[in-house]
Structure 1
């Protein structure tokens, strides 16, 4: 029998919800491009409920225990003697989320003698040392596409919030003010601007499609160029590198995975190439940008705004400089954990577990590492050398 260790974020401060704002969430059967949404043999949860916190358990307990397996759920993942380290020693499967990542470092993987499968409930597996996973024969899988559109919607929201300077204006309303001049002194129209994405995969392309109706000029850079018909449909301008693209853009959104080629990409030198007063949106991974370089660019006015929901480490400490830097629109890592998305990534996690426990192949699009190397979606998105 298997021991499954699941690391999830804490329940709401007021306790796990007993009622919800909506009764249902839309059912998604296929994603753009035709990929099937998760298709587990069964589920033991209500769609639209809070599944990603400790009490939600991703809806897995009844399924696993009915088969005689053990499920351990914790939010205690960091620091000496944490529950994650204590339970990891004899765990067969580890499940984690990008929003509350249990960092599977090389040291932790080496200590976990029984570990065979690491699942990301969501997308983005850079909290796993992929080299170490491959060396130790640990399969890494994630629920590809489950929350990609959720993140794309968040990017569009943050783009408009920055360009229109929405957050300070909302604060004025909350504070009882009516200071029109102050509210509009940094507010612009998105119409007519140039918007570029670093990477045009599932999330990046979804952002481009959603921004096209705003009458902007769209740019992108990617290791894999999009089909000519897609470029023509959206009027896309392709650039071979990020450095080639950013001087042309008023808004840049980062949608690339974290790996050795992207870590630290947005440093002082690259930020200096951007248009003065440009906006930078990062819902990918925090380490793709230089933390202090972003602060400096906002303080000098090189950047007019920075928004995102990814930090390093996660959760971010209270004194993280991004909490107090000027003109930011940061949120905790929430873009891909809407209640709608949780329905999909919980179902996808169940599907992956069913396949593994039954000895049947895990969907190729879910695989990140396996069979002695990068595999499936991981071979397309990651590079060897990705460290937790």
Structure 2
């Protein structure tokens, strides 16, 4: 029998919701590229309920315990005395989320001799040291595409919020004010701007598609160039690198995985080449941007705004400078954890566990590392040397 160690974020401060704002969720038949949503044999949860926090347990307990397996769920993941570290020693499977990552470092993997599967409930497995997983024969999988559109919607929301300066205007209302000049003094139209994405995978392409109706000029850079018909359909300009693209854009959105080629990409040098008053949105991974360089760029006016929901470390400490820097639109890491997305990534987690426990193949598109090498989505998105 297997021991599954599941690390999820804390329940709401006031406890799990007694009711929800909406009844049910729209049914999604297929993702935009034709991939089907998760197809587990069954689910033991109500779609649209809070599943990603500790009490939600991703709807896994009944399924696992009826099969005789052990499920340990915790939010305590930091330090040698954490529940995560204590339980890791004899865990067969670790389930974690990008929103509340249990960092599976090389040291932790070495201390977990039974560990065979590191499963991300969501997308983005950079909290796992992939090189260590390869060395120790650990399969790494994630629920590919389950929340890509959720993140893309969040990106578009943040771009509009920054350019139109929505958050300060909303704050004026909360504070009882009405000064229109204050409300519009940093507000612009997105129309006509040049907007570029670093990476045009599922999320980046979805962002481009959603921005096209705003009559903007669209740009992208990616190590895999899009088909010509997609470039022509969306009116895209391709750039061979972020260094080539960033200087021509009014807005840059980062939708790339974290790996050695992207870590620290937006530092003083690249930010210094961007247009004065450009906007940067990063819902990918915090370490793609240099923390202090972003603060300096906002304080100097090089950047007119920065928004995102990814931090390092996560959760961010109270004194993290991104909490108090000017002209930001930061949120906790939530873009891919809407209640809609939770239903999909919980179902996908069960689908992967069913396959692993039954000894049947895990969907190729869910795989990041398998058989001692990068595989599936991992071979497309990551590069050798990727670490937590």
Q: Which residue of 1 aligns with 2:16?
A: 16
Q: Which residue of 1 aligns with 2:300?
A: 300
Q: How far apart in 1 are the matches of 2:80 and 2:344?
A: 33
1:192 equivalent to 2:189? Answer no
Q: How far apart in 1 are the matches of 2:26 and 2:130?
A: 34
Q: How far apart in 2 are the matches of 1:357 and 1:195?
A: 45
Q: Which residue of 2 aligns with 1:117?
A: 117
Q: How does 1:210-249 map to 2 (within 5 A)?
A: 210-249=210-249
SS in 2 for 1:102: coil
TM-score, scaled to structure 1: 1.00
- Contact 2:80 2:86 survives alignment (8 Å): no
Q: Which residue of 1 aligns with 2:106?
A: 106
Q: Which residue of 1 aligns with 2:317?
A: 317
1:279-299 deviation per Cα after TM superposition (whole angstroms, max 9, x unaligned): 000000000010000000000
Q: Which residue of 2 aligns with 1:201?
A: 201
Q: Which runs of 4+ in 1 moved over 6 A?
A: none
Consecutive unaligned residues of structure 2, counting only runs of 5 or more, are none
Q: How does 1:302-381 map to 2 (within 5 A)?
A: 302-381=302-381
Consecutive unaligned residues of structure 1, counting only runs of 5 or more, are none
Q: Across the two proteins, how many residue pairs are aligned to each other?
A: 388
TM-score, scaled to structure 2: 1.00
Deviation at 1:17, TM superposition (A): 1.3
1:52-85 deviation per Cα after TM superposition (whole angstroms, max 9, x unaligned): 0000000000000000000000000002300000
1:281 equivalent to 2:281? Answer yes
Q: How far apart in 2 are the matches of 1:140 and 1:256?
A: 19
- Contact 2:152 2:207 survives alignment (8 Å): yes
Q: How far apart in 1 are the matches of 2:7 and 2:172?
A: 39
SS in 1 for 2:176: coil
Deviation at 1:179, TM superposition (A): 1.0
Deviation at 1:386, TM superposition (A): 1.2
